[in-house]
Amino acid sequence: MASEGGYNSVDLSWSQCSRDQFLVFLSQGKANCLSDLPDLEGSLPGWKPGLYYGADDQCKIAFGRGARACTFQRTDIDVCRVLSCHTNPSDHSSCTRMLIPLLDGTECGPNKWCLKGRCVSPQEVRSLLPVNGAWSGWTALSLCSRTCGGGVTFRRRQCNNPRPAFGGHKCEGKHLEAKLCNRQPCLTTQVDFMAEQCSQTNTEPLFLTARVPSYHKWTPTLGFATGDAQCKFLCRSEGKNFMMSRGSQFIDGTRCELGSPTLRAPVGICVAGECREFGCDGDLDSEQVLDVCGVCGGNGSSCTEVTGGYSEGRSREYVTFLTLPLNATTVHVVNNRSLFTHLAIKIKSQYVLAGKGSISMNRTHPSTLEDLCMDYKLYLTTGSLPNSEELFIRGPVEDETQIQVFRKYDKEYGEITNPNITYSYYLPTIKSTFSWLAVTTACSVTCGGGVQKTSYTCADAGTKERVEEEKCKGIPQPAVKHQLCNVRPCPPRWEAGEFGPCSISCGGGVRMRPLRCLRKEKELTVKLPHHKCPRETMPVLTEVCGIAPCPASWRAQDQGPCSATCGGGVLPLHIYCARDAGAQEEALPDEDCGHLPRLEAFEGCGTAACPPRWSVSHVGNCSAICGPGVTPQTSICVQSVDGSDIEVDHALCPSAEKPLEFLPCVVSVCPVGWDSWHSSEAVQFKMTKSKDPIYLEEHPVYVWSPVTGPCSETCGGGLSEIHYVCVEHRSKNPMLEELCDETSRPETRQETCNPEPCPPQWEVQAFGPCSASCGQGMAMRTVRCVRMTSSAMVGQLESVCDGLPKPTERESCQAGPCPARWRYQSGACSASCGGGLMRRVLYCVHDGDGSEEVLPNEECSTMSKPEELETCNPEPCPPRWKASETTSCSSSCGFGVAERIVACVQFHQGVDTEVDEARCPVTEKPPSVVPCMITVCPFSWEAQNWTECSVSCGYGVQSRMVSCIGQAVQQPLSPLFCMHLPKPITLQGCQRPSCPVPIAITPSSVPRTSNAPATAIYGPPSVTPTLAPRRLTNDSYSPCGELLLEDAGVVDLRDVGRRDCLLSVGRPLGEVLEVKVVSSSLNCKEREFVLFYEQLMLLKKCERLTGYTITSRSNVLMIRQGRLAPGRGILLHYWSKAATKRHHSDCDVQLFGVTGKIVNPIQSQALGHQSCRTFVNVAPRRRIEIRALSMNMAAQVNGSYILIRDVDIMRTWVFHGNSLFFWRSSGSRAEIEFHGEYLRRLGTFHGEFSAIEP
């Protein structure tokens, strides 16, 4: 069959070939399905074929699959009588026509359909029943648009089975179903995919000027466009600061930014040039979102929330307070105190937020298009100071992520400098499964062959933590296994024993341990010489011990020889205070040992038993009465034991040393004549021995005889006095001293006696007074061990007297009954060191029967009351830093600094005493300069004098400097401090005498309809308006969001309250605007800018703005300023002038204002078939609503229509026929084109526009 009916056909008709083939088809019985008619409402004739096959379908039948219905029509031929088609899909500038009518039911206009070659409305075919629309079948799913990163596959259906007609209902439901595919991540980011598409057009020239190509580097428009506009292949020229579409649309699956994304919002994906929402399940418009656990459509039950807070940190450092676990989701961190602190984020050891000691602005990392991104927001106070920060991370976290905090000041400045951070995140809840976990012990030996044991215990399969064996019940437990291990031979090794005792207990000693070189050979351990073991692994033999300082103690030093070499003597000692310091002894003042009992100054010595010796026990009288004689003496053998002589066997003493039995002696001087008497007596003695004596006459003889007095001491050496008495020499009887010769009497003398050492004994002093003045007390006395010497009692060690019972040192005493008295109990000490105070609880008592009885306090009123406070803990405190009171703040208001003295002090006896700073820790020293603020400064604006007028004639401007001044410092401050006050104007208009040669503008006349109000319609004016420059900078006025219509003026954007300020300047058609930047304080490094744009131009600048002049190409110029900090901005002066080039027709009309009327212009026949336009401009950031009030087209002319273009998004709507419409823009600019009979008197249009808030 032919694909068309052929050219020049009046109606569609069957060819002979087609007719024959169709008859064959029917005769074979293959058309039985045609007998099953659908159950449809209405009569069959009401279902027109054009309702099933629209104009596009008819073009495809006629010209092939690529054909489409023509987008424009001739005005002299009814659209329903000719099939007009674009046969080339890439060329819509021409149409191919077939002279065949469109099928009945083909839509030919709004609410109009073709019927018998005519385009008719429902009113003309009232006999036709309404036809409700029905869906066609779904097309097959398209191929995935991307290989990774989330492409799109879709299918469509059309409401053409049939199309709704004659007042019938449209189809209900979706015409497009789309799903994401190939969602695995790419090696590059979503922004890279968009950037790659933009960069592919770098080689395609742009003709900003006719026939002059220019080449640009095109980049994504993130941050400059969102939504559908972003999907229109919108790219930005790098370095030129303008953007435009570089094609019809981005590849399906390119990410886009939705209007208001949230943490779990649907994903924005470009589909057919529109930014569409896809749910987390990958379906278009499913509205499925991730729950807090990262589960699509979940209810948050598969994870557990973890919360916490942090308020610490270190001065001038980034401190990690939270390391996010892997797979954490829905991370939310808030710092509610970000004036002196701020957050930072480190991912894989690299900072992606802050990190250089300063706070970051709002940021999304890596971009808003990524699935896993970090969104950071900074909130400011009304004074534009940091107030709080908020961080969102959707997750799941895949890389090591550290969240840190930076604080400017330390804690000594108070709570205001601490961060106030709260955070929360979610972790997956893991369902535990259990299994037998192999546990292998260490090898029994490290070498030489050992055994390892492998047993099995019940454990969590995920965490490997051991659990009760009951949880593995039902799972067979493997048997225990043993296996050989470490079978290699052992090398020689050192074996060290335990360290012995320390050489000293304090002062730094040394202890040693034994060391052996061993080697294990099978089951034996062999000892080897030390050189067989490696010297580098040899353990140390000694180590330092007892390093604690030794306590002070009394020491004794010999100060003389022992008083006896045996049998117990006394050694005098030098007593001093010292302590051990290693091998040395360190002498100390006696005060350091004052708390210890002092040693005795003597000690026993020579305690070895003395050898036996001879001792003369008795001496007889001298044999002579006077003169020399002999004295018999008795000797015994004695041995000294404990200072006393004990007689022993004579055989123990050496016989050679035995004293003589007789000793010579002398008894005074013999009297005169004694010799003869003596000799005769001797003869007589001799004679009496042999024969009978011959008695001679005896004469009495008187002599002086010595008498020894008692020894003053019984031991230890005493003195005895020897004096002489007169005795009869024979009888030794005392006689009168007169009988002896007084002249021969010897002098009285003294001699030592009892020289043997005294035995030790306890010396007891008298008891002292009773310790109690009343009641029962104790009396004390001194008891010490002493030994008597020749000079004095010498103290001994108590051990010398151990064999003797020691007398008691104390005894109870009774001092009589006590009266009532005060008693007290002490509380806790107010200070742990340095001398504190304890408060006493006083109460009155008296002694009862062995106990105290508490009495009313009045009973003790007559007695002196003890102090209620007592000192305690007098030892000095360790040194510490002490800061004095700060000096007065350097600023009487606002932030300043205060100084203070920081000293190292030690608290003792209630007083801080300054000591050397080296005794205090340096790292804890507080700063000597601290910030301070007495009160908020009453800041104010200070205005300087006005400058001279900028012109010598005509209208000019005057400016003046306005600075923010504080009370304390009369210097300009940051404008932030005065933001709460109205700022005086800095610019005002001024007028000088008129200039001698005024500029005249003579625009051409423009016809206007008489019913258009003058306030809303600007045609080219007949006279240039003369308006004084509008004062745009005053206390209450901001130009942001304004539409300025004066012919000249000054715009001050330096102190506007908005960061993003947008305004427009409008003039009548035929005029252009010239703008000069008087001054600029924008910071280009912070990406501040000013943007000038119109329909024919876009220019973005920041650098070298002062003095820059720009001339618009049309009569309306949009100005947009973006800045970060208040006080910055531009000051510009603008004026209008006549355009040198025409970009409009004489029938065009310009409309400004809040509301106005729109009528179609009436064009003279001489102007031909061109269109006329009406331009509508309202204040920026407002929208335009156009409402058709009446549309009257006398004849149905297909070439007559109204076209409305939304200038901001460059989208067009076409309205045919007489149906009224309502239209709303997406921006503040619109163009209305009138075509066909609307330009002549055959068609009329009346409508109105209004500006509305978005």
Residues marked as binding for Ca(2+)? 33, 36
List of residues 6+ apart from 1164 with CB closer than 8 A: none
Tell me if residue 190 falls in helix, strand or coil: helix
Q: Say if residues 953 and 976 touch (Cβ distance below 8 Å).
A: no
| Pairing of β 836-847 and β 852-855 | antiparallel
Feature table: binding site: 33, 36
Tell me if residue 581 falls in helix, strand or coil: strand
Burial 1149-1158 (b: 16+ CB within 10 A, else e): bbbbbeebbb
List of residues 6+ apart from 429 with CB closer than 8 A: 301, 302, 303, 304
Q: What is the DSSP string of 242-285?
A: EEEESSS-PPTT-B---SS--TTPPEEEEETTEEEEE-TTSBBT
Q: Say if residues 1094 and 1117 touch (Cβ distance below 8 Å).
A: yes
CA-CA distance, 189 to 187, in Å (whole number)? 7
List of residues 6+ apart from 1065 with CB closer than 8 A: 1043, 1044, 1045, 1049, 1073, 1075, 1116, 1117, 1119, 1134
Bridge partners of 1131? 1052, 1079
How far is CA 846 from each of CA 464, 772, 843, 1154, rounded to the nearest angstrom? 74, 14, 10, 104
Neighbours of 1197 (CB within 10 A): 24
Residue type, 1060: D
How far is CA 1022 from each of CA 391, 1019, 1072, rounded to the nearest angstrom? 60, 9, 16
List of residues 6+ apart from 1180 with CB closer than 8 A: 1041, 1042, 1043, 1062, 1063, 1064, 1118, 1228
Bridge partners of 1157? 1248
Residue type, 681: E
Burial 735-757 (b: 16+ CB within 10 A, else e): beeeebeeeeeeeeeeeebbebb
| Alpha-helical segments (H) within 754-905 | none
> 936 is written with which tokens?
């908020």
Q: What are phi and psi of 531, to 5 degrees?
A: -75, -10
Q: What are phi and psi of 626, to 5 degrees?
A: -155, 160
For residue 268, which of 256, 286, 260, 280 has the smallest C-alpha distance?
A: 256
Bridge partners of 378? 389
Q: What is the DSSP string of 649-712?
A: -GGGS-GGGPPPSEEEEEES-PPTTHHHHHHHHHHHHHHHHHS---PPPP---EEEEEEE---S
Burial 766-789 (b: 16+ CB within 10 A, else e): ebeebebeebeeebbeebbbbbbb
- Look up tokens 């151990």; give the residue: 802
- Alpha-carbon 90 to chain mean position: 60
Neighbours of 1010 (CB within 10 A): 6
Tell me if residue 1091 falls in helix, strand or coil: strand
Q: Say if residues 78 and 117 touch (Cβ distance below 8 Å).
A: yes
Report which secondary-structure segment, H or E, holds 63.
Answer: helix 55-63
List of residues 6+ apart from 407 with CB closer than 8 A: 313, 314, 315, 316, 317, 319, 340, 341, 417, 418, 419
